[in-house]
Amino acid sequence: MIQFAKPDITSAEILKVESTLKSGWLTGGPKVAAFAMEVANQSGTDHAVCYDSCTAAMEMSLRALGIGPGDEVITTPTPTQPPLRSFGTWAQRLCSAI
């Protein structure tokens, strides 16, 4: 097998992951809040929101835009990535439920 790219992981990253695992916060928590604050600072905005999956982020994007029943959402005709499949499923559930 040909290795595509060798990961560049140092002991500093390993210690951060270990610290996170031991903290009891695998999603949410103080590190995510600090990350969101840094994203907001780097983006020049007052607020940022971080999600633990692409699917959740796409769902909240639709809701924030007010997309709902009767609205058309166009995506790729070949949704091969799981978030796109989930997005399509969520949009179908939303439109049929409301």
Helix, strand, coil percentages in the chain from 3-state DSSP, rounded to 5: 55, 0, 45
pLDDT digits over 27-75, tens only?
A: 788 888 898 999 999 989 998 888 877 778 888 888 888 887 788 877 6
Residue 80 pLDDT exceeds 60: no
Q: 36-65 as b/e, with b when 16 or more CB fall inside 10 Å?
A: eeeeeeeeeeeeeeeeeeebeebbeebeee
DSSP code per residue over 41-78: HHHTSS-----SSHHHHHHHHHHHTT--TT------SS
Tell me what pLDDT residue 27 has: 79
Across the chain, mean pLDDT equals 79
Show the tokens assigned to 25. 């916060």
Q: Per-residue pLDDT averaged across 67-92, rounded? A: 65
